[in-house]
Structure 1
């Protein structure tokens, strides 16, 4: 089932069929990453997906994950990779109580109140970018809007200097590719950049990075340098990649399903459109890596201790037991049942920000360009890694 990672013919929606077929075939599918690391992809219904996302036997502990990955690499005679980037000791790669400690230090910057305070600036940045887009000619909305807009936002929240953000974006995209020969050097370079930023004198003390660098929990415990570095990787990568992919997918889905004009006429449909894309066509295909700390039975099959897992979220969102005609994209359903942002303690910290960014872009685009059309072929090409599926480009013509 390696197609669960490669996405078949690398066309939008093809991975839907692959994931849905896999869910019907069974719960567990062995896959091998390009670097040779072996794991199981879990494709089950929504209810069981939620149970697994909260199962304490499926650990997210950084040390356990790194140890098993390095063991497999050594077994193959491969060079030991530097796993401190995406597998560093962040709140994403930790279990309680460490997870709760790390999350408490960052949650104030991403809760609903804090995100709403960002709303005017998000509207301003989105409007500035959209105002610079040409009308009545083909443009790539991914390159011109979906990618740069979230980087501007997360850059301001975290305190990334404006002149660095474009290069950071390139490093993230390279690191998230499925090509080890380029992804590892990009990860190393990004780590060096964060080290210089977090230990230098130019950090804005009012930014989230500035706050985290000096923040303490209730016991006066500060983040270690390794924890701060891991937090930097997590917040920059997650804060950019997921929002960029979601913006592109929502615009594509509105055009592809003939809903653009309808949304332009009724802006109150925008949140519903965003939620249906999250359920049906999220750019986040799988929850991040877990490792079994003991034998665990999943859908009638037992996996051994130290099995690495990816829990697929796309198949869960289109679960026929959870949604009527789940394979169809519809705005007349109550889309409250998906696990795109996770479930339980690791529910995505940036979910409110991602929703607000995407809704803001769609409101502004549909109101300004209500006659926009898709300018590409039948299905746009996507890029894949083990977690994300993102549109490579989205050719459109913006029309008033």
Structure 2
């Protein structure tokens, strides 16, 4: 194992981290890392080792297992208070069950016409001449509108949710405590009032389901707010990253863009390749060694932070042939962008559906879409150690074709089938 990796390896990997990561992974799949600074921590870079870690019950996601000096800070983070993303069984099972029903593939498929309408509306609003930021004009508002409508929260307040999500998705060990507290207080105050109002008028939406769960004793108040926050963040930020990252990848690789324009039925395959090559998150969320363990030939003592690199696993040549080649026809594609095992992302069907509709529509309706800057000028955002996205995506839109009539779009052929692991987790 090499020298200890610096904090920036975790917090700010930069635009092209994969070559350096490949060299580290080839030397050893697990490395010590100085993050949080001064803590005992390890970075897991090999696909095989990341998969093993995902299923290892000795790796805990609960803040109670943090080393003592970190517990108080984590306890003040609304995101890490307790939701299905930061809980171990049986609490994880309790918190996941009422949400998983809302994200069953058959139920999500029913959202296709509305998502198509939102996508077309956003495309209609893009300027045909001049430069625009596709991240701000398309990639962010699409998933934020979708998750707001699905939750049943006021879509007109989405700038507030985006602002709170930006702050509260930050690593609590990395950012100012006062900023996190202010955003937490504002978020809980807003949703405290909204939950109280919804309790008087329960509807057929996800927020009403969550309120019912609270009243039936499934959630505490803090767990309820933490779950709403998780759904808002995961429901918009990760999808926005996928759309921004994927569009940048395609526009900077004309050969792959041409393949998709000629065969739009390959869009679902392209979505999987985008998630593998430049996924929405560099790292999986918090894991702490609840007991001593050995991973990738490295001893990891109890109380250590264990950081699982989704990005490194996606570029591991042991699993992915020629991993630095971006190939929209790649099959099989065993990426870990949605996690693995008990914590496989409950929202994966919704994320995939939005990616499929968004890329299919952009390809069809914007035949002249191109980058407004050189690919190397696109800046990556280091707003959160877990997030992997762009600061902006400057594009030239050009010619815009009309939308298809309602009901005129069939699902592309060749949609990825859910594997047995995913079927057990949705």
Common fold: TM-score over 0.5: yes
State the partner residue of 2:313.
316
* Matched-pair contact (CA < 8 Å) for 2:78–2:168: no
State the partner residue of 1:279.
276
State the partner residue of 2:247.
251
* Matched-pair contact (CA < 8 Å) for 1:159–1:204: no
- Compared CA separation, residues 164 and 344, structure 1 to 2 (3 A): same
Structure 1 residue 330 corresponds to structure 2 residue 335: no
State the partner residue of 2:10.
5
State the partner residue of 2:379.
381
TM-score for the superposition, normalised by structure 2: 0.85
Match of 1:306 among 303, 306, 315: 303
Cα distance in 1, alignment partners of residues 92 and 362 from structure 2: 38
RMSD: 2.2
Structure 1 range deviating more: 193-202 or 255-264: 193-202
| 3-state SS in 2 of match to 1:215 | helix
| 3-state SS in 2 of match to 1:168 | helix
* Matched-pair contact (CA < 8 Å) for 2:293–2:299: yes
State the partner residue of 1:159.
152
State the partner residue of 1:71.
69
Structure 1 residue 31 corresponds to structure 2 residue 30: no
Cα distance in 2, alignment partners of residues 307 and 19 from structure 1: 21
* Matched-pair contact (CA < 8 Å) for 1:7–1:15: no
Cα distance, 1:203 vs structure 2: 6.3
Match of 1:234 among 217, 230, 235: 230
Cα distance in 2, alignment partners of residues 196 and 37 from structure 1: 40
* Matched-pair contact (CA < 8 Å) for 1:141–1:248: yes
Structure 1 residue 46 corresponds to structure 2 residue 47: yes
Cα distance in 1, alignment partners of residues 329 and 32 from structure 2: 33
Structure 1 range deviating more: 221-230 or 113-122: 221-230
- Compared CA separation, residues 293 and 203, structure 1 to 2 (3 A): farther
Cα distance in 1, alignment partners of residues 40 and 349 from structure 2: 31
Cα distance in 2, alignment partners of residues 174 and 101 from structure 1: 27
Q: For each residue in 1:344-373, what CA deviation from the matched residue of structure 2 results, as whole angstroms up to 9, or x when unmatched?
A: 010000111111111111111110111211
Cα distance in 1, alignment partners of residues 34 and 145 from structure 2: 35
Structure 1 residue 141 corresponds to structure 2 residue 134: yes
State the partner residue of 1:370.
367
Cα distance in 2, alignment partners of residues 273 and 238 from structure 1: 21
Cα distance, 1:82 vs structure 2: 5.3
- Compared CA separation, residues 376 and 183, structure 1 to 2 (3 A): farther
* Matched-pair contact (CA < 8 Å) for 1:261–1:371: no
Q: For each residue in 1:153-186, what CA deviation from the matched residue of structure 2 results, as whole angstroms up to 9, or x when unmatched?
A: 0001111112211111122113334542534432
State the partner residue of 2:405.
none
Q: Extract unaligned runs of 5+ from structure 2.
A: 400-426
State the partner residue of 2:394.
395
- Compared CA separation, residues 264 and 30, structure 1 to 2 (3 A): same
- Compared CA separation, residues 200 and 18, structure 1 to 2 (3 A): farther
Q: Extract unaligned runs of 5+ from structure 1.
A: 75-79
Cα distance in 1, alignment partners of residues 23 and 190 from structure 2: 42
